[in-house]
Structure 1
Amino acid sequence: MDDNGDAPLVDALTSLHSLLLGAPRLEELLAKLADVAAKVVEPPASCGITTRYDGQPRTIVSSDARASVADEYQYSLGEGPCLEALQQGVVVDVADYSSERRWPRYGDLAREAGVKASIALPLIVDGRSIGAMNLYGYDRPDTFSAADRERAAAYAEQASTTLAFAAGAVRQSQLSEQLEQALASRSVIDQALGLLMGQQRCDARTAFQLLRKHSQNNNRKLRDVAGALIVRHTGRPPVDSRAFESVSSGEAPPGGDGEQGPSRDGDTRT
């Protein structure tokens, strides 16, 4: 390709790299991934990005509604170029839907939707297909030139890395959320144990055994039993573990204004 032919790809990769450096939200990153992909070819196409979710193909983002519709037709029928790209890890090119016969049912729907040509490119990470980038042309048959295909393939390679990054971010977010929930539960349980130790004049091990026994006898989660115990004996809900983090960082505890007065802390009864 000459310098002018490279311009759409250079612009696309520059735009994507700039976005990554800005530490975007996941939704913003995925939306940009599809929007930029649609502009890699000339004239711009519609783009849908397919990946597997719970074992089923799903469009996680698209540049417009037309791409989503074209993708969904394939999922519902179980046939089509994006599914072959996803499942077989190969580029699937359809130059002219008016003469396309590989997927009879999908071909009919694609023609009715105005699709003239398409190209589906696998998104490969560590030798495994994790998705497909689906470009749809609506202007004319043979929409995509050889230069378009080269640019799309180069962009798909970058998109694969970006999609893997996004998937890792989701897993990390889920892990962080689970950890935060675990820490919150631990904080509530510790507060309840402190109450029991004071009331029963016992050590932490004995207090925990009492709390666990009550949890098992009533078929309730340990955290819920601990929270109910705190409310019953103090008249207040458990202290959010984030309050301790806020205090240590000099911020106001969640739900408060940072001030302490008699109405909140003057009552020392247990």
Structure 2
Amino acid sequence: MTGNESPTGRDLTELLSAVQNLLLDAPRVEQFLTELAKLAADVVEPPASCGITTSYDGQPRTIVSSDPRAAQVDEGQYAGGWGPCVHSLATGEVVEIADQESDPRWPEYRVHAIALGVRSSLSLPLSVNGEVVGAMNLYDFDEPEAFDIQNRRRAETFAAQASTALTLALRQAHDAELADQLEQALATRSVIDQAVGILMAQQRCAADQAFALLRKHSQNNNLKLRTVAERLVAKVSGQPAPQVAAFQRRPNGAGGEPRPGLNGGGAGASPGASRRG
């Protein structure tokens, strides 16, 4: 038996290869992360429960778990800011609890973990270029000292691979969120431009004066500027305000980062776009 194999568990090389395949095959970030947690649970023998914690808006959060019990153990640590996964995320240290019933650290967490049946655990930081981007938390519910030297080495090797994968997944999620924001901004600007054009024709005024009329109506009626514009366009045209083409992510050249793009080409900013937001 090699150092990459456990007596009955999956080959470590197979698991590491599966992480790479997930990046290529998973259609959504959520699915990728869920499958990553399931793979991590199989790294040790016998399989453990796995939760993956990261920081979101400055707060620790379990983004995925292999099963509900792992998420419950993770989330019980967040309110008080204590426990192995929170400590690993904050410090970049590996935290092993050989026997949950006798471990003196984090007494409040110990009560919570024992109530959920945790016997031992291993929390490993997920780091890229010296920056901790998450923590991989493995929980055993069967016996103390479940993470022997071989299991720990396998888990550490997998965590190093998962660190890069998690960074890429979070970047994709950020890019998708940015694309949504850009799409909303473009849709808002488009309908406002249409409404300004209508008012310029109706009132025989300049663009700045027409925009001021829209903004005044928005403030007086406590409505969003986009809502006022949509209603005006719909009233004049007799149809709902048309929606702009959706953003699509596409490669930025060979091997480049994904970036937002428009069907049919890019769109430049129109005068006054920054003013209107």
Task: Name the TM-score class by shorter chain.
Answer: 0.7 to 0.9
Q: Check conservation: 2:127, 2:163, Cα contact below 8 A.
A: yes
Q: 1:174 to 1:100 in 2, by over 3 A?
A: same
Could you tell me how far 1:23 is from its partner in structure 2?
A: 4.6
Q: 1:203 to 1:55 in 2, by over 3 A?
A: closer
Could you tell me how far 1:19 is from its partner in structure 2?
A: 1.2
SS at match of 2:54: strand
Residue aligning to 1:265:
none
Task: Output the amino acid matched with 2:148.
Answer: S
Residue aligning to 1:253:
none
Residue aligning to 2:121:
118
Q: Check conservation: 2:4, 2:154, Cα contact below 8 A.
A: no
Q: 1:12 to 1:233 in 2, by over 3 A?
A: same
CA RMSD, Structure 1 to Structure 2 (Å): 2.6
Could you tell me how far 1:207 is from its partner in structure 2?
A: 3.7
- Separation in 2 of the partners of 1:193 and 1:102? 64
> Size of the alignment, in residue pairs?
246
| 1:61 maps to which of 59, 64, 67 | 64
Could you tell me how far 1:213 is from its partner in structure 2?
A: 4.5
SS at match of 1:241: coil
Could you tell me how far 1:42 is from its partner in structure 2?
A: 0.8
- Separation in 2 of the partners of 1:81 and 1:238? 52
Could you tell me how far 1:242 is from its partner in structure 2?
A: 3.1
Matches of residues 1-270 of structure 1 in structure 2 within 5 Å? 2=2, 5=5, 8-202=11-205, 204-216=207-219, 218-242=221-245
Could you tell me how far 1:18 is from its partner in structure 2?
A: 0.9
Q: 1:192 to 1:36 in 2, by over 3 A?
A: same
175-184 or 54-63, larger mean C-alpha shift: 54-63
1:107-146 alpha-carbon deviations (Å, 9 max, x no partner): 2332333222111101112312222111011222221121
Q: 1:138 to 1:209 in 2, by over 3 A?
A: closer
Q: Flag structure 1 segments of 5+ consecutive residues without an equivalent.
A: 250-270
- Separation in 1 of the partners of 2:128 and 2:239? 51
226-235 or 28-37, larger mean C-alpha shift: 226-235
- Say which structure is richer in helix: 1
- Separation in 2 of the partners of 1:104 and 1:23? 39
SS at match of 1:43: coil
Q: Flag structure 2 segments of 5+ consecutive residues without an equivalent.
A: 249-262, 265-277
- Separation in 2 of the partners of 1:88 and 1:158? 19
Q: Check conservation: 1:89, 1:124, Cα contact below 8 A.
A: yes
Residue aligning to 1:257:
none
1:139-197 alpha-carbon deviations (Å, 9 max, x no partner): 22221121111111111112222222222122211211111111111221222233233
